[in-house]
Structure 1
Amino acid sequence: MQAVNPQVSLFQTWEWVSLWWKHLGKGTEARVLCVQDGGETVGIAPLYTRRTAMGKVLRWAGTGISDRLGIIAACGYDHAVAGAVAEWLESQRCADLHQLAEGSAMVRVAEARGWQVVWQEKCPYVLLPETWEAYWGSLSKKTRFNIGYAQRQMTRELGEVHLDTASETELPEAMEALFALHTRRWRQRWLPGGFYHPCVRQFHREWATVAQRNGWLRLHTLRIDGAIRAVLYVFHFGRRAYYYLGGFEPSLARYSMGTVLTAYAIRRAIEEGCVVFDFLRGDEPYKYRWKPQVQWHRRACWAQGTLAWAWRKRVDWETRLWWRLQARLHGKGAS
């Protein structure tokens, strides 16, 4: 099902989810639902349950560090599987399903059944043409000039600039550089960043090795005189490139290293046959210079009994808090 259904994301693969359980699943209990038709498995819903202050809650395996989640269904069975999963979840006390793609079967079914479904995050993505030249020509004149100028400025003022993708032997060095550069940049904002916890870093170390072996990892680096100064953590899966996280030296921010390296990552994606470059969740302003389209992610919640009213209020509060945080980080509102 994973291989033939184009709706399945990298974050729903066994490789990703099993490592999530190994490193980040402490205190959870697996609840993997199988949907069958005539004795044949046509759908899977990888869930877990965890006890919270409001009782036991069911969520997707991978929630927290994953950017697109949901059911895994055989082709043609998406709606039927989503309906069966929703029906089972309604027999439980509480379900809280994050990072559902807008328009997905699970969102449509949840809305039709009266669940609380809220707008969670914007996810910009670029539809890629067949050639780099066609895409390059679609960018604004200012963006093209700035990328070329930044490369020339780095060479003139800092030394030899080298853009590359980390090999298997370079992987440990590049991953540690990613952790350090990403964290350093976010701490300037008094925030922890995406690799704040040792368990998260260990997850990504092991995941990167697995993804490299499977041909999914593209860890792009920018080196100045041999030293790594910027890293982009990108995955290729199903003709889609996923830009997961990045990091660059904050003291060199004026050289636009992230922009230069993103252009390199998009070029590599086109050359390798990807048709989408996905910036994943987050409404950061830098994503919009690449002429993206925008998809929303939704959050679908179900609760019953005395828990229902309290859970609805909690979701509303968390949604408002999240958008206020986004406005603080990016200097603009949710729109």
Structure 2
Amino acid sequence: MNLQIQVMDRLEEVEALRAAWNRLDQGVVFRSLDWVTTWWQHYQRSRRERLHVVVVRDVSRPIDSQVLAIAPWYAEATRARGTVLRWLGSGEVCSDHLTVLCDGEEQRRVAKCLASYLAEADDWNRLELDAIDDQDTMMQLVADELQDHDCRLMRRPEGQYWAIDLPATWDEFLAMQSKSHRKQLRRTDSRVLASGLATWHTVTNTEELNSAWPMFVELHQRRRNSLGERGCFASPRFASFHAAVAHKLLANDQLRLGWVEMDGEPLAVEYHFASPQTIYAYQAGLDPDRVDQNPGRLSCISAIKQAIEGGHKTFDLLRGDETYKAHWRAKPSHTYRLRVLARSHSSNWLAQTADLAETMAGAVKASLRPLVSPTPTTH
């Protein structure tokens, strides 16, 4: 087939793929080279973890177009599961829309090649891939091919992400809303934003980012703490990763950090990412002492208006079933997690132990679910 597999375990090798990576990631920030390599630099915990980025090449092509696909994985050596392959960017960062990056016209050929490699390779025991979009054709093809190679597969639902299909104008967006919500948005917009009582600011350069970043972190933490939660930035790794990646995304025009200011003080802030077609609403924060001034509504209005004016077609609210998402007319799409076991006897033995533990943990969570109240949101 003229296809060859290369496994990269050094960061310098992966960085050298930048041109091909940028061509294949479709502008999705969570798939970008800057996102996953910055994640690796901050989240690699020990020598038990190593890069395991699988590259599929067509060596019959010119050298600058040989890379057809990239599987952005890392490997972890574990006692219970053996060597586990996972997404770069997984874990507490909650990267969405991860996949095997592939030229759309080559998906079937690549899936066969990748599955054949995985079926024969002896350097892994288990694939644990989370938050796969239900409509991800590439991952479905890979799963089908692995099943044909007698690998054991487990596919389990894993929640939903929510996205708003953006119209061309704000008035059209308002028309999508319920009558009561439309009335609230118009009143808030005209009385607070259009009147100049509150203003929307966005970061455009490094100096502004350096100034706004501590404000964002503070408002996020204060809001989550007021709800009895720890807040994401209590994690040192999470905090250092985002402080670093935000600067890289700004340089690529993929950062959208904006805030509503009232009476000279920040009221609410939105930390979003941008691709040519989509805005990804990643995190937010607000002043918990001023919730009576509708900070979340003000910042959402401002961010969605900005997205529409920027020509974006989708406002992606990402994973989580918070009630405000449906209220803003976002539509859900399902995700799932995929577990694939290598064909070796040791893998199956390790899998039985791991699966038993995972099943028991799931049963415990299910039994506790009615006792746990939903996590409040910032909007």
- Work out whether the TM-score is over 0.5: yes
| 1:246 equivalenced with 2:272 (yes/no) | no
1:46 maps to 72
1:63 maps to 90
Larger-gyration structure (1/2): 2
The answer (yes or no) to whether the contact 1:107–1:300 under 8 Å persists in 2 is no
What SS is found at the alignment partner of 1:199? Answer: helix
| Equivalent residue runs for 1:160-309 within 5 Å | 160-168=197-205, 169-303=207-341, 304-309=347-352
2:140 maps to 107
The answer (yes or no) to whether the contact 2:22–2:33 under 8 Å persists in 1 is no
| Equivalent residue runs for 1:118-129 within 5 Å | 118-129=156-167
| Deviation, structure 1 residue 237 | 0.9
Pair 109,318 (structure 1): closer, same or farther in 2 beyond 3 Å: farther
| 1:81 equivalenced with 2:113 (yes/no) | no
Percent identity of paired positions between Structure 1 and Structure 2: 27
Aligned residues: 329
The answer (yes or no) to whether the contact 1:239–1:274 under 8 Å persists in 2 is yes
Q: After alignment, is 79-88 or 274-283 more displaced?
A: 79-88
| Deviation, structure 1 residue 3 | 4.8
Amino acid at match of 2:200: L
The answer (yes or no) to whether the contact 2:126–2:340 under 8 Å persists in 1 is yes
| Deviation, structure 1 residue 212 | 1.1
Q: After alignment, is 175-184 or 12-21 more displaced?
A: 175-184
| 1:32 equivalenced with 2:53 (yes/no) | yes
Amino acid at match of 1:310: T
Amino acid at match of 1:328: V
What SS is found at the alignment partner of 2:167? Answer: coil
The answer (yes or no) to whether the contact 1:150–1:257 under 8 Å persists in 2 is no
Amino acid at match of 2:84: V
The answer (yes or no) to whether the contact 2:22–2:32 under 8 Å persists in 1 is no
The correspondence for 2:39, drawn from 20, 32, 36, is 20
2:355 maps to 312
The answer (yes or no) to whether the contact 1:125–1:278 under 8 Å persists in 2 is yes
Amino acid at match of 2:334: W
Pair 267,319 (structure 1): closer, same or farther in 2 beyond 3 Å: farther
Pair 320,84 (structure 1): closer, same or farther in 2 beyond 3 Å: farther
CA distance in 2, matches of 1:284, 1:118: 21
| Deviation, structure 1 residue 187 | 2.3
The answer (yes or no) to whether the contact 2:159–2:334 under 8 Å persists in 1 is yes
Amino acid at match of 1:109: V
CA distance in 1, matches of 2:223, 2:363: 26
Pair 313,81 (structure 1): closer, same or farther in 2 beyond 3 Å: farther
Pair 123,225 (structure 1): closer, same or farther in 2 beyond 3 Å: same
Pair 79,297 (structure 1): closer, same or farther in 2 beyond 3 Å: farther
Q: After alignment, is 230-239 or 170-179 more displaced?
A: 170-179
What SS is found at the alignment partner of 1:115? Answer: strand
CA distance in 1, matches of 2:275, 2:362: 30
Q: After alignment, is 304-313 or 205-214 more displaced?
A: 304-313
Amino acid at match of 1:309: Q
2:130 maps to 98
CA distance in 1, matches of 2:288, 2:220: 9
CA distance in 1, matches of 2:277, 2:44: 29
The answer (yes or no) to whether the contact 1:4–1:75 under 8 Å persists in 2 is no
The answer (yes or no) to whether the contact 1:285–1:330 under 8 Å persists in 2 is no
Pair 13,201 (structure 1): closer, same or farther in 2 beyond 3 Å: same
Pair 98,318 (structure 1): closer, same or farther in 2 beyond 3 Å: farther
CA distance in 2, matches of 1:152, 1:322: 45
CA distance in 2, matches of 1:63, 1:266: 27
CA distance in 2, matches of 1:208, 1:282: 22
The answer (yes or no) to whether the contact 1:120–1:296 under 8 Å persists in 2 is yes
| Deviation, structure 1 residue 7 | 5.4
| Deviation, structure 1 residue 216 | 0.7
CA distance in 2, matches of 1:22, 1:212: 19
Amino acid at match of 2:87: W
CA distance in 1, matches of 2:338, 2:98: 12
Stretches of structure 2 lacking an aligned partner (at least 5 in a row): 1-19, 61-65, 342-346
CA distance in 2, matches of 1:166, 1:93: 45
Q: Deviations over 1:11-59 (max 9, x none)?
A: 1111111111111223220001011234532111111112334233110
